[in-house]
Chain A
Amino acid sequence: MKAYQLTGSRRLEQVDVDDPTPADGEVVVQIECGSVCGSDTHVRYQPVLAEEQYPLPPGAPCHEIAGTIVESRNPDHPVGQRVIALPDPSSPGGAGGGLAEYIATGLVITLPDTGTTEDWLMCQPTGTVLYSARRWGQSTDKRIAVIGQGAIGLSFTMIAERTGAKQVIGIDLLDYRLDKSRELGATDTINADREHVVEALAEVTNGEGVDVVVDASADPDGLNQAVSLVNMYGTIIGFSQIPRDQLPTFRHPDWMMKEARIIATGSSLSQTPTEAIQTMVDLKDRGWLDPSVLITHHSAWNDIPDAYEMYAGYTDGIIKNVLDISGAGKSGSKAGAAS
């Protein structure tokens, strides 16, 4: 099958590799589309990793994947079923990734028969946010600030609004993301580049402050910012993935003074990585929240390296990019040629 693989920092190359074979309990999904996540670019695509980590396995880095089952060794998931597929680190054939024509995995989320696959795919990132948002508990007695209004931060904003938060404040450096934030449910937004965030937050909350701060900034200093923003006894939800070589100094005394709870979340690492995404699919199906509003761009198979550059560079108003993986078979490019 055709695939991309990361052979160096910011270098995605097309390769031809063997089709995956499913283990017991697994299915093979013919991938229709994928999407780029911040963790793909910040933690894997962009940094210079240790030499021995290259090349990444074919298909990586990409874990937001949807398509149709073409081979099944799992009676619950028959051939022909449309699914979101999660790469499975414990798979005998390796985790694989979305930048490839096929993936073998035991972790799939069943999709309804209606609607486009790319729209349903957005339930993957937003479902992981649903999982994390449960950690702050009830929303109706809380004011919630979300640092970073990328696809993940915007999903937090939407979920906080839907679950009845008293106030939802989107914080970002980029105005186009703050515009989107207000459009999708933020009651207030703060541009951290232009405004003094602590003062601005006090102003928009009439001095009440916020009970919950979500760090979805992917900024190494995001957790420290969250500590500086949260109320006494408040809750911080950590979602950012930070490369190991960029780990910041934690402002321990500030944290102690606030007595804030810090909760790290990562549904893909949980015991039930598919549950919250399946719940998100059901919630989209009944019209509760449609995460496909996050899609701003589409990229053809041969333009995938450009799509990663755009995502890493925050250019062209990017929020969420759908990668046309089904185009791999139709593309005329030669395997192994850098595009």
Chain B
Amino acid sequence: MKAYQLTGPQTLEEVTAPDPEPKDGQVLLKIEHVSICGSDTHLNFHPTLPEEQYPFAPGLPCHEIAGTIVESKNPNNPVGQRAIILPTFDQGVGMTNGGLAELIASEKVIPLPDYGDTSDWVMCQPAGTAIQASREWGTTDDKTFLVMGQGAIGLSTTAVAYRMGAQKVIGVDLDDYRLAKAAELGASLTLNADRDNLVEAVMDATDGQGVDVVVEATGDSNGINVAMELVRRQGTIVSFTLVAADDPTVLRHQEWMRKEIRILPTNAAGAIDPVAPIRDMVGLRDRGWWDPAELITHRVGWDDIPDAYEMYSDRSDGVIKVAIAIE
């Protein structure tokens, strides 16, 4: 099969790799559409990693994948069924296969309905992580929220919190185009962290208390410290941010203790059951609750993949979500 693989910083090369063989319990998926996640670019595509990490396995970095099952060694997932699939995962190594390829074998399968385009359905993968995060904060209509970072994950969280009845959602980002999208999806106040005094504005909007829940989806190693300034005493921070090994967080420990803040990590890919929240997001899209496909700003093909990673990495051209057709 043809595939891309990361051979160095910002270098995706086309290769021919052997077709994967599904093991017992797995299926082989013919990939139709994939999408890029911030963790693909910030942690893998963009930085200069230790030499021994290159090249990545064919297909990586890409873990938002949908297509049709063409071979099955799992009776629950017959050939012909459309599905989102998650890469296989090795606790020591991380993901061991990916979506920048024609085929992928895995046991982590989320069946899709028979209608609609897989480029739209694949958006239930990132949106499912927002569902997972919502389970960390619990009930919604009795709380105020602030979502730091209005990329695809932050925007999904904004949309999900608003639809669940949040009393207020404040969106924070550095890019105005992302803040405009946040307002469209339900944020009643948006703040540009470059221009606005966040602490002042948030305290103004919350009677000086801070918000009940801060969702930290910046990808910035200092994000959690900013979140601690914005959350109320005994409030909750739900963090999506995956911090690179060479940029660790120095936690403001005293601030955390003083405000008695609950900090909850949400790591969909490494979760004990990464499939469940995505499956539930597919169910919610199916019944019309929210359609995360409204996050798609760009649709590109196989040959555009390296450029699409550059664009996502640079946040250029108003990009939020790229649907990539694997032809």
Chain A contacts to B: CB under 8 angstroms: 130, 134, 137-141, 159, 161-164, 166, 187, 276, 279, 282-283, 288-289
A143 CB to closest chain B CB (Å) equals 10
How extensive is the interface on chain B, given as a class?
20 to 34
* Pairwise interchain contact B167-A163, C-beta atoms closer than 8 A: no
Q: Please tell me if B131 contacts chain A, counting CB pairs below 8 Å.
A: yes
* Pairwise interchain contact B141-A130, C-beta atoms closer than 8 A: yes
The residue that B164 contacts in the complex, of A141, A164, A276, with Cβ under 8 A, is: A164
Distance between Cα atoms of A134 and B141 in the complex (Å): 8
Contact residues in B for A276 (Cβ distance below 8 Å): 142
Most buried by A among B135, B165, B276, B289: B165
B192 CB to closest chain A CB (Å) equals 23
* Pairwise interchain contact A140-B142, C-beta atoms closer than 8 A: no
Nearest A residue to B188, CB-CB: A286
Contact residues in B for A139 (Cβ distance below 8 Å): 164
27 contacts between A and B (CB under 8 A): A130-B141, A130-B165, A134-B139, A134-B141, A134-B142, A138-B134, A138-B135, A138-B139, A139-B164, A140-B131, A140-B284, A141-B276, A161-B289, A162-B165, A163-B164, A164-B131, A164-B134, A164-B160, A164-B164, A164-B280, A164-B284, A164-B289, A166-B280, A166-B283, A276-B142, A279-B167, A289-B165
Which 3 pairs of residues, A with B, have the shortest CB-CB distance? A134-B139, A138-B135, A163-B164
Most buried by A among B134, B138, B139: B139
Distance between Cα atoms of A139 and B289 in the complex (Å): 13
* Pairwise interchain contact B135-A163, C-beta atoms closer than 8 A: no
Nearest B residue to A142, CB-CB: B280
Known A141-B280, A279-B142: A162·B134 in contact at CB below 8 Å: no
Q: Please tell me if B154 contacts chain A, counting CB pairs below 8 Å.
A: no
Q: Please tell me if B140 contacts chain A, counting CB pairs below 8 Å.
A: yes
A221 CB to closest chain B CB (Å) equals 29
* Pairwise interchain contact B141-A279, C-beta atoms closer than 8 A: yes
Distance between Cα atoms of A141 and B283 in the complex (Å): 11
Distance between Cα atoms of A134 and B140 in the complex (Å): 8
* Pairwise interchain contact B163-A162, C-beta atoms closer than 8 A: yes
Distance between Cα atoms of A159 and B134 in the complex (Å): 16
Binary interface profile of B, 250-286, with partner A (CB < 8 Å = 1, else 0)?
0000000000000000000000000011001001100
The residue that A283 contacts in the complex, of B141, B276, B289, with Cβ under 8 A, is: B141
Given A139-B164, A140-B134, 20 other A-B contacts at CB below 8 A?
A130-B165, A134-B139, A134-B142, A138-B134, A138-B135, A138-B138, A138-B139, A140-B135, A140-B284, A141-B280, A163-B141, A163-B165, A276-B142, A279-B142, A279-B167, A282-B167, A283-B141, A283-B165, A288-B165, A289-B165
A216 CB to closest chain B CB (Å) equals 18
A245 CB to closest chain B CB (Å) equals 36
Distance between Cα atoms of A138 and B139 in the complex (Å): 5
A255 CB to closest chain B CB (Å) equals 25
Contact residues in B for A140 (Cβ distance below 8 Å): 131, 134-135, 277, 280, 284
* Pairwise interchain contact A164-B167, C-beta atoms closer than 8 A: no
Contact residues in B for A141 (Cβ distance below 8 Å): 135, 276-277, 280
Q: Please tell me if B195 contacts chain A, counting CB pairs below 8 Å.
A: no
Distance between Cα atoms of A134 and B163 in the complex (Å): 15
Binary interface profile of B, 144-168, with partner A (CB < 8 Å = 1, else 0)?
0000000000000000100111010
Nearest B residue to A136, CB-CB: B139
* Pairwise interchain contact B141-A164, C-beta atoms closer than 8 A: no
Contact residues in B for A283 (Cβ distance below 8 Å): 141, 165
Contact residues in B for A288 (Cβ distance below 8 Å): 165
A323 CB to closest chain B CB (Å) equals 28
A131 CB to closest chain B CB (Å) equals 9
Contact residues in B for A282 (Cβ distance below 8 Å): 167
B154 CB to closest chain A CB (Å) equals 18
Contact residues in A for B163 (Cβ distance below 8 Å): 162, 164
Binary interface profile of B, 49-71, with partner A (CB < 8 Å = 1, else 0)?
00000000000000000000000
Contact residues in A for B138 (Cβ distance below 8 Å): 137-138
Nearest B residue to A167, CB-CB: B283
Distance between Cα atoms of A141 and B281 in the complex (Å): 10
Contact residues in B for A137 (Cβ distance below 8 Å): 138-139
A186 CB to closest chain B CB (Å) equals 11
Contact residues in A for B276 (Cβ distance below 8 Å): 141
Interface residues of B in 271-323 (CB under 8 A from A): 276-277, 280, 283-284, 287, 289
Contact residues in A for B289 (Cβ distance below 8 Å): 161, 164
Distance between Cα atoms of A137 and B277 in the complex (Å): 16
Contact residues in A for B165 (Cβ distance below 8 Å): 130, 159, 162-163, 283, 288-289
Nearest B residue to A283, CB-CB: B165
A199 CB to closest chain B CB (Å) equals 23
Nearest B residue to A163, CB-CB: B164
Distance between Cα atoms of A134 and B131 in the complex (Å): 17
Distance between Cα atoms of A160 and B280 in the complex (Å): 14
Contact residues in B for A138 (Cβ distance below 8 Å): 134-135, 138-139
Contact residues in B for A279 (Cβ distance below 8 Å): 141-142, 167
Contact residues in B for A130 (Cβ distance below 8 Å): 141, 165
Contact residues in A for B135 (Cβ distance below 8 Å): 138, 140-141
Nearest A residue to B281, CB-CB: A140
